[in-house]
A and B are shown apart, each in its own frame.
Chain A
């Protein structure tokens, strides 16, 4: 449904200084240079006062930079008329800032109204957006913000920011004001939305886990408004550029990386399999030759039935379903390595079974393979 292409945003040596001593560093930004490609989510993350919100507000010029330029599709934001610029950029803030005296429908249609859309087009658009963010327009459009739950308010805030289909969205701790369970749901819903919308999004948070989860790119900032590191979440977790970044992402960054990769990214260990009714001696010979000590019994469509220890495979006869003992956890391509590891530990087995969409065996996953995947990479080849 996105008609506007997403925008590229470039921070070109952007600096914001505040006068005054002592607290002058708070919210300041020092020579920020980043480029956010169209359609990506870039998360600005850092401790309180690191200038991440200042950086965001310089894009829609709620704050003007002291020096440097912010280019939106190559055009300096300062060259735009400021109200037109703001109407072309979606803006979501933590306290949401819904207008208490307007209904949900009117709130969502704010920018369309400023742009002079006809009333029925506004209503149609706001119904469409409410549906998009998972609210029933028939129920919600006539309510006032005070009648909504925190999660519903945040959804309305997102719908309102999307109203004029902006190529760029600024989101300042958009899910910060709700409890962790609702936040996680809103994050997931938003990522699903973004998969279709493909807007360019600048997203501010102080929560590194949220940054890693939401960001295609993450810009870690430190007090004084300096960019500490800019890269994909994987790069930042694998190779923190400084002690500050390493401390900020946390001692558990290895574990965090596990949440970023899924089974699909692993080179699977081939499983030694046999079908029910296969010749037992042949299967025994194959499993004894393999370092992994369990034979995986599968059905006619290669779906796993269970394990048979190599010593338990009879020397003669055929394999029967009753010989197999309980199964390992089944992992699909999209299971994160973190979840996979947790399942392996819980099930107290040596290997998980990776299966395709139809449930057929692809190969085996061991805990060693998972931990190997996130060992610090060699810093440079050679």
Chain B
């Protein structure tokens, strides 16, 4: 472990960590929005549930390297190319969790909401989605952690991508283990920090949930 090298590259490490976070956050954000639409569709129109889950499952099985190889001729060495696989991998996690969350809203709660005159959209926003929050947060945690790990692979598209993956690729090329560790360790720490943050956010969003055990 070449400590002087690490100290020498702190600025660059910080910058790359930030970039890493940005690439992951963009993918998780876009994936979340897409999945929310898909999940609501799947829950509302039951027939679409099977195809949606199957399709997102298939996306999940495509090797990322193959996807880059297929996309580069079309979309070049662009941010778009870097993000597509990351986004696709979040879909399965999100769709499963969000639709399970929406499906898990108790029937009596839905009946009471309908009986009291909730329009469908208001019911979704004020009743179903809030009640799905624990499962949605679980999905965001899983998607975030896995995406933060996956971002490194986009380093294969060049210096502008990959976040901390840049160090891992470079360290591998130069057979310089310190640099590999300097890329990997902050990535792990970032994943753990984000996860912790999400747990706390989730708890704050669902004050009613933890009280369940207090009586």
Contact = CB atoms under 8 A, between A and B. Distances in A.
- Contact residues of A: prevailing secondary structure: mixed
Interface string A73-91: 0000000001111110001
A66 interface: no
B80 interface: no
A91 B109 contact: no
Contacts, number: 76
Most buried by B among A60, A102, A146: A146
Interface-central residue, A97, A102, A146, by most chain B CB under 10 Å: A97
A62 interface: yes
Given A146-B211, A147-B215, A114 B116 contact: yes
Interface residues of B, number: 26
B206 interface: yes
A160 B113 CA distance: 11
B130 interface: yes
A62 B107 CA distance: 13
Contacts of B215: 146-147
Contacts of A93: 108, 111-112, 115
Contact of A147 (B113, B127, B214): B214
A57 to B, nearest CB: 8
Interface in B123-147: 127, 130-131, 133
A96 B206 contact: no
B38 to A, nearest CB: 24
B130 A101 contact: yes
Interface string B81-118: 00000000000000000000000001011111111111
A79 to B, nearest CB: 16
B117 A114 contact: yes
Nearest to A107: B112
Contacts of A96: 108, 112
B111 A97 contact: yes
Given A95-B108, A97-B109, A85 B117 contact: yes
Given A93-B108, A114-B122, A147-B214, A86 B114 contact: yes
Contacts of B113: 97, 99
Interface string B12-43: 00000000000000000000000000000000
A110 interface: yes
A91 B215 CA distance: 27
A256 to B, nearest CB: 31
Interface string A21-37: 00000000000000000
A87 B117 contact: yes
Contact of A62 (B109, B111, B208): B111
A86 B115 contact: yes
Contacts of B214: 147
Contact of A101 (B114, B118, B119, B208): B208
B208 A91 contact: no
B187 to A, nearest CB: 35
Nearest to A163: B116
Contact of A91 (B106, B112, B207, B209): B112
Contacts of B130: 101
4 tightest Cβ-Cβ pairs between the two chains A and B:
A97-B112, A86-B117, A95-B108, A87-B117
Given A84-B117, A86-B114, A147-B215, 13 more contacts: A62-B114, A83-B117, A86-B115, A86-B116, A86-B117, A97-B113, A99-B113, A101-B127, A101-B208, A102-B208, A146-B215, A147-B211, A160-B116
